[in-house]
Amino acid sequence: MSIIFADAWLITMNGKREVLESASVCVEKDRIVAVSTRKDLEKRFPAAEVVDCNGRIVMPGMVNTHTHLFQTLMKGLGDDMVLKKWFTCMTGPSGVHLTPEDAHAAALHGCVESIRSGVTTLVDFMYVHTRPGMIKAVVEAYDETGMRGFVCRGFISLGEEYGVPRELIEKPEHAIGDARKQMRRYNKPGARIQVGVAPNMIWAVDEKGYRLTRKLADEEHALITTHLAETTFELETAKTRYGQTDTEFMSEIGFLGPDVLAAHCVHCKPHDIRILKQHDTKVAHNPCSNLYLASGCPPIPEMLMAGVTVGLASDGPASSNNHSLFQAMKFAALMQKGFHQDATILTAEKVMEMATIDGARAVGLEKEIGSIEVGKKADLIVIDFNNAFMTPIHHPVSAIVYSALGNEVTTVMIDGRFVMRDGVVTGVNEAAVRRQAQSHADDLARRSGSDKFKKRPWRSMAI
Ligand SMILES: [Zn+2]
């Protein structure tokens, strides 16, 4: 079965970054087999189904390099809190009470939300393992919705003194053993869904945890992701405990490498950035979350100048409140412009690279996804720009990064399969997923005591 996306305004993200008018793309099975004119493709593939994309933009599906899908149930409960309170009073207790059924409902909704806003690859960082079956719950949600991506088996091995609930703390040997088991169960070569490993952060994981992670990733060839230099607190803890920055420490013990995806890096110093580059360690940039939690403005331009690969991300919806990479693109560009008082410092084109091809590179899949080129996986999205927000339109990249809201995505294909077609999600019943997520969200908030944040007083000023 072949499908031709015909007469689109095509943002290829290929090596030449070609943006083509009235271009057509042919997909066969799970691969892109041709990019040409409609006439040529209809001649070469006479049996193909033609999807008319006149008046539409076609671009590669986006790669969200960092989220915590279970936090989909916690949208809005942690608004306007400093990070420590946000974690100890809301996110931590919610994690303690999370069940695999909650995690599944959250992940399904998070995947639907991602698909609706043009994301075709997710990196989930799942650090709650109070009950067995959490990784399975997320893998099944990817499977049901057709999502591509990584489910990273996260863990916390210490941090009670900083307010981490005891129930969330695991022995690193146990966490790594479980991660290995999950990898052996799910990781088949070339599979759409892969299990990775995710030590949480410097103040919540001991040295042994990092060393065992490195060993596991080497043996299983798995993706590693971790939080790095997100807050000044991480830097202070690293200094007290190891007398260096968290980046320096992780480099010194041999943890960093090209298979490490470091989320945030807000407080990386020039020396840290050089270290990231030396190891070809990748960065997941979460602009909305960094602003929401008041973590700071990461030195993204400096990283790009140094040649570090930076992908874009939403972070968990407890600290960004949705999974939209449209918002992430706009915030990424605007936060640097404002911070540096320099409108040229990060362009619309660069943030689109970060959301697509650079994101693909960040997860080691740049040969498979991230651009529309012959031979690559058919992960692509169709955007209808005939609406109030995106018109009048002059430049498709500008319209997507600065004008679009994200709900203009009409059709999404992952691995050659329509996961949303003409606004209808195909793999699951979206209304039922939404109802289920709301019900699990209400129930989890009640069980964990976070429902007190639902009835917050009106607060025009901070309290
Ligand atoms: Zn995170």
CA of 263 from ligand 1 middle (Å) equals 7
| Backbone angles phi and psi of 83, in degrees to 5 | -55, -40
The pLDDT confidence band at residue 62, using thresholds 50, 70 and 90, is very high
pLDDT in tens, 241-279: 999 999 999 999 999 999 999 999 999 999 999 999 999
CA of 373 from ligand 1 middle (Å) equals 32
Predicted pLDDT at 158: 95
CA of 385 from ligand 1 middle (Å) equals 32
* pLDDT beyond 90 at 1: no
Predicted pLDDT at 463: 55
Region 292-297: what's the mean pLDDT? 94
CA of 87 from ligand 1 middle (Å) equals 11
| Nearest in space to 412 (alpha carbons), one of 460, 379, 369 | 379
pLDDT in tens, 110-136: 999 999 999 999 999 999 999 999 999
Single-letter code of the amino acid located at 121: T
CA of 143 from ligand 1 middle (Å) equals 23
* pLDDT beyond 60 at 99: yes
- Name the average pLDDT for the chain: 96
- Under a CB-based contact definition with an 8 Å cutoff, are residues 156 and 170 in contact? yes
CA of 363 from ligand 1 middle (Å) equals 16
- Under a CB-based contact definition with an 8 Å cutoff, are residues 83 and 295 in contact? yes
Strand partners, 284: 263, 311
Lowest mean pLDDT among 89-98, 169-178, 371-380: 89-98
CA 433/CA 117 separation, integer angstroms: 16
* pLDDT beyond 60 at 399: yes
* pLDDT beyond 90 at 84: no
Region 97-109: what's the mean pLDDT? 98
CA of 230 from ligand 1 middle (Å) equals 9
Single-letter code of the amino acid located at 420: M
CA of 284 from ligand 1 middle (Å) equals 10
CA of 439 from ligand 1 middle (Å) equals 24
Instruction: Please give the torsion angle defined by the CA atoms of residues 284, 106, 317 and 267, in that order, rounded to the nearest 10 degrees.
Output: -40
The pLDDT confidence band at residue 16, using thresholds 50, 70 and 90, is very high
* pLDDT beyond 70 at 350: yes
CA of 28 from ligand 1 middle (Å) equals 36
pLDDT in tens, 383-393: 999 999 999 99
Predicted pLDDT at 453: 87
Predicted pLDDT at 462: 67
Unique residue bearing structure tokens 């031709």:
4
The pLDDT confidence band at residue 86, using thresholds 50, 70 and 90, is confident
Cα 36 to its chain centre, rounded Å, is 31
Residue 346 C-beta-side C-alpha neighbours within 13 Å:
28
Percent of the chain with pLDDT over 70: 100
